[in-house]
Structures are given as C-alpha cells and as structure tokens.
Structure 1
Amino acid sequence: MSTVKPKHIGRNISRIRELRDMKQEALAIAIGTNQQSISIIEGSESVDEEKLKKIAEALGVSAETIKNFSEDAVFNIIGNTIEIENNTGSSVISYGCTFNPLDKLIESIEKNEKLYERLIQIEREKAAYLEKLLDKK
C-alpha cells in the first residue's frame, strides 16, 4: 500500500507567484478578486479549474505547470544557470555547462591517441603477416 501525497495546488501557486516576484495583491487584481481570496486559494490543496486557468494566465504559465510544479526542477534549472554581468551593467543569463569543456577536449584527444596507436599496431601486424607470406614463397 503506497501513501502518495497529493499535490498542494495552492502551495504551487504561491511558490510560482513568489518566483515571479508578484505580490498577492497584484495577482488578485489580475484575476479580479481581492488579496484575502488569494490567501485562501494559496492555503487550499485544490482549486477549481476555472480559477486555476485565470491564475495560470495571470502568472504567465499553464494550468498544467501549476499542477505539476516541482521545486526540485526549479532549483536544478537555477543551479545550472549562471547570471553574468556584461560591460553595460545589465545581466545576461547564460546556461552554463555542468562539465568542464577542456576536460572533455582532453578526453577526446586521449581517445584519439589510443585509437591511433591501435591502428599502428594493426598495421605492423599486417606487415609482419605479409612478410611471413612472402618468405614462404
């Protein structure tokens, strides 16, 4: 028997709203309600589909995104995103590598060297075999 905890839609709405740097009042105005209603919605485990669609539109996401929201996925994306300041003082978001490109280059060079050495060894064996065949004649 598994005890799967249902998604808390209200908590997901709250987290997405916070990540969007939006206050409850702003979300309330966007969907035509008041801040207290948003507070109640964010405390609810479930939200009716019509309200969820309005909220999703106001937050700039789909209703499915709210239903399937995962903080682990968000932190994974944030962890793999680097914000770099350019010369003008504005920020540029760069999706940085999770590996060192130079290490990968060195790895590929080493693999190529091993393959080349193997090819040379095979050519030597082939030459020795042909010499052996010529000596028999």
Structure 2
Amino acid sequence: MSTLTKQNHIGRKISRIRELRDMKQEALAQALGTNQQAVSIIENSETIDEEKLVEVAKALGVTVEAIKNFSDEAAINYFNSFTDTKNSQVNFGNHCTFNPLDKLVEAFEENKKLYERLLESEKEKKSYLEKLLKDK
C-alpha cells in the first residue's frame, strides 16, 4: 500500500474524526439512520460517494473538506497549540505563577486581622453598653 493511498483513505479519516469527537459507531449509525455494521463498512472503505460523505460530515458536525483534508499530524498540531505556552500569555493552570502556600498564609493573616477588628468592635460595644448602664 502506498503512502498516498493510505493518506487518502476517507474511511480511516472518518473513523479518526469520529473517535476524536468521542463518538461510537452506534451513535454515528443512529445519526445516519443506519446500523453499526454499515458505519464499519464506511470506515473500512477507501472511497465514499460524495452524497454519503456529505451525510457523514453533517452527522459528525464537520465539513466535507475537513474530512478530505484531515490528517493526524494536523490534529495533533492543532491540539498542541492550546498547551504551547511559550509564545502565549494565557496560562491554562499548568504552571503556577505564585506560591500557593504564600497565598494561604496571606489569607490566614487577613482572617486574623479581621478577627482582631471584630474583637475590638465587640469590646467597644461592651464598654459603651456598660457606660449606658452606669448612667441610668
């Protein structure tokens, strides 16, 4: 089998797109109004008539061109572009830009300050109420 034939195997491309969409053959069959065996035959076919290809593309939620031009390398490059943070300002949580323990200590200190302010406020309220009772 030549490399050219392998790369233009429409059935394999449909199979890979279906797998990337996390779809089972049964689900694709249901969307096409057929059975799982028919989908298996489609995925094992090197070529598919244009009309059937349009139906499959619609069921998969992609264009006919996407199926025809699909390659594993392009898909890998596409998904890797989301995790390549060298040239991107977006951080997807893979690398912390702060020390989580420092943030925990900051939160603890802030809680401590708030508690001290609350305690001071309660002391002021108590002394004010005592003063009112003495004045009566």
TM-score for the superposition, normalised by structure 1: 0.58
Residue 74 of structure 1, CA deviation: 0.6
Name stretches of at least 5 consecutive residues in structure 1 with no aligned partner: 83-95, 102-137
> What is the aligned residue count?
86
Alignment of structure 1 residues 1-137 onto 2, 5 Å = 5-6=4-5, 7-82=8-83, 96-99=84-87
Report the CA distance shift for 1:22/1:77 in structure 2 as closer, same or farther (over 3 A). same
Higher relative contact order (CA 8 A, sep 6+): 2
Contact 1:25-1:35 within 8 A present in 2 as well: yes
In percent, how many aligned pairs have the same letter? Answer: 58
- Higher normalized helix content (fraction of residues): 2
Question: Structure 1's 67 and 100: CA in aligned 2 closer, same or farther, altered over 3 A?
Answer: closer
State the shift of 1:79 in Å. Answer: 1.2
Q: Given the superposition, is the C-alpha separation of residues 78 and 100 from structure 1 closer, same or farther in structure 2, using an over 3 Å criterion?
A: closer
Q: Which has the larger radius of gyration?
A: 2
| Cα distance between partner residues in 2 of 1:98 and 1:50 | 43
Given that 1:80 and 1:98 are in contact with CA atoms closer than 8 Å, whether structure 2 keeps it comes out as no
C-alpha offsets along residues 6-33 of structure 1, whole Å, 9 cap, x if unaligned? Answer: 3000000000000000000000010111
Whether contact under 8 Å (1:10, 1:44) holds in the other structure is yes
Counterpart in the other structure of 1:130: none
Instruction: Say which structure is richer in strand.
Output: 1
